[in-house]
Chains A and B, each alone.
Chain A
Amino acid sequence: MPTTRDQKIQAEAKRLLQEGVVDVVIGFTKGTLPYKMQPCFIQHAEDVEQLELNGLCSNNLAVYLNHRPKDERTAIVVRGCESRAVQTLVLENRHARENLYLIGVPCIGILDLQKIQQHEQDPVLAIQEEGDQVHVTLKSGEKTFQRSEILHNACLHCNHPLPVNADMIIDEAGLFEERTFDKSYLESFRSLSLKERYQEFTKEAERCIRCYACREACPMCYCEECFVNHSRPQWVDSTIDPAGQQAWHIIRAFHQTGRCVSCGACERACPMNIKMTYLTDLLNQDMFKEYDFEPGLDPALMPPFLALGEDNEKFGVGPEGSHAG
């Protein structure tokens, strides 16, 4: 059932297509399973009724900017993290901002299926959202959750649920407040000893099956050839042995420093439920401490590591800066 939020999204999409402002509207539509929504690409005004947005829309739609022609005039339905991903992609010259139209939606958060479906043997049969409450039909029976209980961790830790630099904002209230940078959840990891941290990291990394769904779901992972596939030289062991797994996760995280928008799309795409955003969040926390920088928040500000090597006063790099070179 379309909510009033959906109707507003649909109306805007319809206008954009009818007036020829864009060629395509990227959003979400109902999936084939009761707990899934699918990304969709609407090209005709008569199809806009397919557009819906709810807590089951688990992908970061900005990823599709990396798949589609650069000159396509594109509207995207963006929540906070998606808008920040778009800004970063624009800064990195992946897309021209003038070809984009951002339909901003104050975020209602994304649900974590793993929190809903505690056991594989007890699958989800239906999900019905109603404001703060989410009614779930499991094989074992009905259950009502508070939305906050079953939110994905990335959403629980989100600081900026409001879309940045959007062309319009759907005027429905989101569920969360903006807040100043807070990743205090990381303190428990930071307080571990080196050995404990290693254990924590490696027991997660070693369950990886190297399907690269995390990478492919990530808007910031768009390299034509990822380091992990490089064969000359080969950077990473190709097998699922621990050494390769660890290297894959560590290096991918480092490539996200100051770029990761903490959307959690990588974790939700992972078929093994591997949790790795704490790594990118740790690095982003450093970026904040060192450079007062948050990915995607300021559409004019390059991520520090991309600005490196240039004479860049903002980040204190350049001839006198400690990070020169």
Chain B
Amino acid sequence: MQAKWISKKELKKLLTAWTKHYLVYAPIDNDHELAFQMVKEPARIVVDGYSNTRYPAKSLFLPQSEVLMKYDGILHSVENTEKEKILFGIRPCDAHAMQLLEHALVDVENPDLYWKQKRESAIVISKACIAPEETCFCTAVGGSPFNTADSDVLLVEMGEDYCVYVLTEKGISLCKELPDAEDTQLQAVKKLTKKVVGRMPVLLPKQELHNALMASFETEFWKDVSQSCLGCGVCTFLCPSCFCFDIVDETVRKERVRNWDTCMFRTYSLEASGHNPRPTKVERTRQRIMHKFAYWVDLIDEIGCTGCGRCVKYCPVNIDIREIAEKALHREFEGMKK
């Protein structure tokens, strides 16, 4: 890892220079919300002082709707036209989510090529959160607002400058012109890190939570916490680490597409026979939480939630995943009916 330094003014110039050689995706205020968009006018990039985009960064690698094949009697695969691109300004929670998605989508023998091509062609420049939101809880699930995982470069906003942590070969090639950070500057970054992290929620004991959830499985706890759930796609579509999809043949367009799908939809587990193994929102809510906090732990010993807080913020009935995890951890299900 190298530590470099750049002024805000210089960074803007650098961004403009990059847009000449790469496709750059960055947060842009589109009048409705902040969203990762392909940059046409570098001046519109929101560089400083935002928290996160509403629509998650995963959409750039696993688009909500994606054409997998075309057919005109026989199936044709779609050509890989991915160009090298820079993803600028993603938050550590979303970067961490990409690592989780990598586990889900790329096993060694059968990688998801659509994802892989997009992921490999991207240089990820993430941005540390110096002012996390009330709904942020990355520190509770093993992350940090200064997490470097899955990024090529991490920027830390320091007054009128940025500290630039260069983390990979890809990052080095982008930042080689920048001067090294001085020791006093790095001390200041350390101090800031400590201050910001110190105000964030404490780490959840993941194994204990996992065990508690497993023990809660058959109890009425799930009826209780899912009572107000509407069964929409908000929590999972906005989640940076949810990856379920559904493949559909769009016969009119002669395309085989995949669309995001979600375990919260009642049609998700509906079988052709009419049987639905997760017939109500009780089982569906349980699945969402168990997947994140128990099954991921079983699989890779990591929590599958990255603490971005989108589901907390945008759930139309304020179902709060933090609250459910806390309740489970405190074994509120004990004594509840099976």
A residues sitting closer than 8 Å to B (CB atoms) are: 31-34, 36-41, 58-59, 63-64, 67, 120-121, 123, 125, 207, 209-213, 215-217, 225, 229, 231, 234, 237-241, 268-269, 271-273
Contacts and interface: CB of A to CB of B under 8 A. Distances in A.
Nearest to A123: B133
B237 A120 contact: no
Q: Nearest 3 pairs between A and B by C-beta?
A: A211-B233, A239-B65, A269-B316
Nearest to B322: A32
Contacts of B154: none
Given A211-B233, A213-B232, A240-B64, A271 B238 contact: yes
B275 interface: no
Contacts of B313: 33
A209 B55 CA distance: 9
Given A120-B50, A239-B257, A240-B64, 17 more contacts: A33-B312, A34-B134, A36-B318, A39-B317, A63-B230, A67-B281, A120-B33, A207-B32, A210-B64, A210-B233, A213-B234, A216-B316, A217-B230, A237-B250, A271-B54, A272-B54, A273-B32
B316 A213 contact: yes
Interface in B111-125: none
B33 A272 contact: yes
A137 to B, nearest CB: 12
Contact of B227 (A41, A59, A216, A241): A41
Nearest to A207: B32
B215 interface: no
A217 B318 contact: no
Contacts of B29: 120
A262 to B, nearest CB: 18
B16 interface: no
A213 B233 contact: yes
Residue among A120, A234, A269, A273 with most chain B CB within 10 A = A120
A33 B133 CA distance: 11
Interface string B304-326: 00000000111011111011000
Interface of B is mostly: loop
Contact of A238 (B237, B259, B320): B259
A211 B237 contact: yes
A40 B259 contact: no
A39 B228 contact: yes
Interface string B28-56: 01001110000000000000011100110
Given A120-B34, A123-B133, A238 B318 contact: no
Contacts of B320: 31-33
B178 interface: no
B79 to A, nearest CB: 19
B316 A58 contact: yes
Contacts of B2: none
Nearest to A238: B248
21 contacts: A31-B318, A33-B134, A36-B318, A38-B228, A38-B317, A38-B318, A41-B228, A120-B50, A121-B50, A209-B237, A210-B233, A210-B259, A212-B233, A216-B231, A237-B250, A239-B64, A239-B65, A239-B248, A268-B316, A269-B234, A271-B234
A30 B128 CA distance: 32
A59 B54 contact: no
Interface in B53-79: 54-55, 64-65
Interface residues of B, number: 44
A296 B283 CA distance: 33
B111 to A, nearest CB: 24
B267 to A, nearest CB: 5
Contacts of A269: 230, 232, 234, 316
B132 to A, nearest CB: 11
Contacts of B248: 231, 238-239
Nearest to A226: B267
A211 B267 contact: no
B267 A229 contact: yes
Nearest to A214: B232
A33 B319 CA distance: 10
Given A125-B134, A211-B237, A241-B65, A59 B317 contact: yes
A217 B232 contact: yes
Residue among B227, B267, B316 with most chain A CB within 10 A = B316
A118 B291 CA distance: 35
B80 to A, nearest CB: 20
A41 B223 CA distance: 11
A32 B323 contact: yes
A98 to B, nearest CB: 24
Contacts of A272: 32-33, 54
B265 interface: yes
B219 interface: no
B135 interface: yes
A121 to B, nearest CB: 5
Contacts of B230: 63, 213, 216-217, 269
Contacts of B65: 238-241
